[in-house]
Amino acid sequence: MRRNANSSDDSGGDPRSMDDDIVVQGVLTAIGQKRLAPGTKLGEDRLARASGTSRIHVRQALSHLASRHIVVQFPNRGAFVHRPSWKEAQDIFAARRLVEAATTGMAIDRLDARGEALIREHVAREAAHDPTDRPASLALTAEFHILIARLADNSVLFDAVKELTLRTSLAIATFETPGSLDCSPRAHPDIAGLILRRDRAAALAEMNHHIDEIEARLIPLLTKMDDDELTAIFKEIGSAAASGART
Amino acid sequence: MRRNANSSDDSGGDPRSMDDDIVVQGVLTAIGQKRLAPGTKLGEDRLARASGTSRIHVRQALSHLASRHIVVQFPNRGAFVHRPSWKEAQDIFAARRLVEAATTGMAIDRLDARGEALIREHVAREAAHDPTDRPASLALTAEFHILIARLADNSVLFDAVKELTLRTSLAIATFETPGSLDCSPRAHPDIAGLILRRDRAAALAEMNHHIDEIEARLIPLLTKMDDDELTAIFKEIGSAAASGART
DNA sequence: AGTTAATAAATTGGCGCCAATTATGGCGCC
DNA sequence: GGCGCCATAATTGGCGCCAATTTATTAACT
């Protein structure tokens, strides 16, 4: 009997071993629950002790997460939870608008009875869950978007939505304003209803609006500025001073 | 002085060490030159001897390539050059149409003098190259699409185009008809001219048509069928025989 | 007192070895 | 003659150890 690499379909990806998956899922849920802030160092020995596995699995898991842009690895310095720049966060949302508009349309095109049942089941699960539980809300949001992408029946776009969902949670953890809460899952039943009604234009517009709403909750904090932006600013001052001195 | 992980921007990704990159680039160019057919087993010891590096670098490189869907890894069996299914090839092209239409439009929006110079330089390089050199043509095609994606100034879509370009070369290696040759790079000067002229609609249409042309060169060869499709066919025969026997 | 340089501790990177699993060749059996 | 089974060989998976690099600490010096 051959064992499958990933049993649940909403798992992060395709790590080779089972112990790798433990580390990957651990880091992912820790990030999703905001127990691991962006920029945190992920020491190999520490993760190995925490996950109960060996250091080699931790390294493979970190390499896997690095390929998904969840962590960044510096040579001889270790792995850190990736802190996306403001530009990268905007890029992520622009890509989501593009890809998820496509997956929504394709999901409507290929919608059948099984797809309708899956959508209804998810809406029911969202209606029944505790709205004050932030990590659960975030996980349900990700599951909704991934479900739509699965119904689109395109493996490339499905993987893209999975990756963009993860990176979005990193962007939220980096740039979210402390005030706004639980405003996003409210829109899911609306989108689901429009999809079930095969209202293409309205579903696309609502999905775009939903992504815009998530993006609007983020603000560019200057304290979390990226190094590249900092050097760009210094270069800008330099050129401005040069032109000012010339004039 | 801090050394950069990847010096050239068109490299495959972000492998940690320099030796890993040797193996990654070696496998990539071998695939691009059709010296490694899809389905070929990539033994660790063999790759280590061939690349002159150690086995650990080979493993990290294979893990990296597996995360990019270039190779597939089976537990305790090793890594093989990924042989995309016909469905996956169609998915790749559908995703390319979506993403590259977007990158083309964004490249036109943000086009400046530097971008125009890069496009003109690439067109000149394509005009000067030997059209009978298949691997060089394929590499130039990939570089053109990646250049457009870079001008779009969206890191997520840039990475997506890089990955989709690689996967397309795998799809071509798997499904290409032997007859058709060097018909694709002909369209690049046209697309480049339309982009330079800021003709949005025509550029998008031409880019879509160009991708369609590449896809049209592929045919679903039955001999290179995927395992899943094969089992599906056997199941189909089984049910047909059962219903036939009952009737 | 601040800064620089040297030393020590901690962490990552890499290699060799051995165990576990799988592919292969040969043998006996039906 | 074909099929299934077992032993051998080859390959991958994993662990421990040591070297190389970075980081923290301490000391000396201006």
pLDDT of the residue at A5: 40
Which nucleotide's C1' sits nearest to the alpha carbon of B43?
Answer: D11
Kind plus residue range of the DSSP H or E element containing A3: none
Could you tell me which residues are beta bridge partners of residue B218? B176
CA distance B27 to B51: 10
Lowest average pLDDT, out of A9-18, A120-129, A214-223, goes to A9-18
pLDDT of the residue at B183: 54
pLDDT of the residue at A90: 96
pLDDT of the residue at B219: 86
pLDDT of the residue at B223: 53
Chain B hits for A91, CB-CB cut-off 8 Å, are 154-157
Q: Which residue has the higher pLDDT, A165 or A228?
A: A165
In the CATH scheme, what is the code of domain B86-216? 1.20.120.530
User: Which nucleotides of strand C are protein-proximal, with an atom < 7 A from a CB?
Assistant: 11-16, 20-23
Interface of A with B (CB under 8 A): 3, 5, 13-14, 16-17, 60, 63-64, 66-68, 73, 75, 87-88, 91-92, 94-95, 98-99, 102, 154-157, 160, 164, 167
pLDDT in tens, B50-80: 999 999 999 999 999 999 999 999 999 999 9
Q: Which residue has the higher pLDDT, B224 or A140?
A: A140
pLDDT in tens, B124-164: 999 998 888 877 888 899 999 999 999 999 999 999 999 99
For chain B, percent helix, then strand, then coil, each to nearest 5?
A: 65, 5, 30
Q: How confident is the model at residue A233 (pLDDT cuts 50, 70, 90)?
A: low
pLDDT at B193 over 80: yes
**B43 CB below 7 A from strand D atoms:** yes
Which nucleotide's C1' sits nearest to the alpha carbon of B73?
Answer: D12
Give me the CA B90–C1' D21 separation in Å, rounded: 47
> CA angle at residue A113 from A109 to A114, to 5 degrees?
100
Q: Is B156 in contact with A91 (Cβ distance < 8 A)?
A: yes
Which residues 172-231 on B are within 7 A of strand D at the CB atom?
A: none
Calculate what percentage of chain A has a pLDDT beyond 70.
81
**B39 CB below 7 A from strand D atoms:** no
Burial category of A246 from C-beta neighbours within 10 Å (exposed 0-12, middle 13-18, buried 19 and up): exposed
Q: Which residue has the higher pLDDT, B27 or B1?
A: B27
Distance from chain centroid for Cα B10: 13
Domain A18-81 has CATH 3.40.50.300: no
Neighbours of A181 (CB within 10 A): 13
pLDDT of the residue at B185: 66
Q: Which residue has the higher pLDDT, B176 or B243?
A: B176
For residue B35, give Cα distances in angstroms to A78, B31, B55, B96, B225.
36, 6, 21, 25, 20
Asked if A42 contacts A78 with a C-beta cutoff of 8 angstroms, the reply is: yes
Which of A60, A87, A167 minimises the CB distance to B63? A60
pLDDT of the residue at B220: 82
Q: How confident is the model at residue A135 (pLDDT cuts 50, 70, 90)?
A: confident
Residue A54 half-sphere exposure toward CB, CA atoms < 13 A? 4
Interface of B with A (CB under 8 A): 3, 5, 13-14, 16-17, 60, 63-64, 66-68, 73, 75, 87-88, 91-92, 94-95, 98-99, 102, 154-157, 160, 164, 167
Q: Hey, where are the domains in chain B?
A: 18-81, 86-216
pLDDT of the residue at B7: 39
CA distance B126 to B216: 22
Give me the CA A112–C1' D18 separation in Å, rounded: 60
Q: Nearest CA to CA, how far is B194 from chain A (Å)?
A: 23
Asked if A46 contacts A185 with a C-beta cutoff of 8 angstroms, the reply is: no
Chain B hits for A110, CB-CB cut-off 8 Å, are none
CA distance B26 to B50: 9
For residue A87, give Cα distances in angstroms to A190, A219, B154, B155, B208.
30, 12, 9, 9, 28
ipTM of the complex model: 0.87
Calculate what percentage of chain A has a pLDDT beyond 90.
66
Cβ within 8 Å of residue A217, ≥6 positions away: A172, A176, A177, A180, A183, A184
pLDDT of the residue at B81: 97
Q: Where are the alpha helices (DSSP H) in chain A?
A: 18-32, 44-51, 55-67, 86-109, 113-128, 134-151, 155-175, 187-196, 200-216, 227-246
Could you tell me which residues are beta bridge partners of residue B41? B80
Which residues 71-130 on B are within 7 A of strand D at the CB atom?
A: 73, 75-79
pLDDT at B227 over 80: no
Q: What is the mean pLDDT of residues B161-180?
A: 88
**Arithmetic mean of pLDDT over chain B:** 86
pLDDT of the residue at B137: 84
**B77 CB below 7 A from strand C atoms:** yes
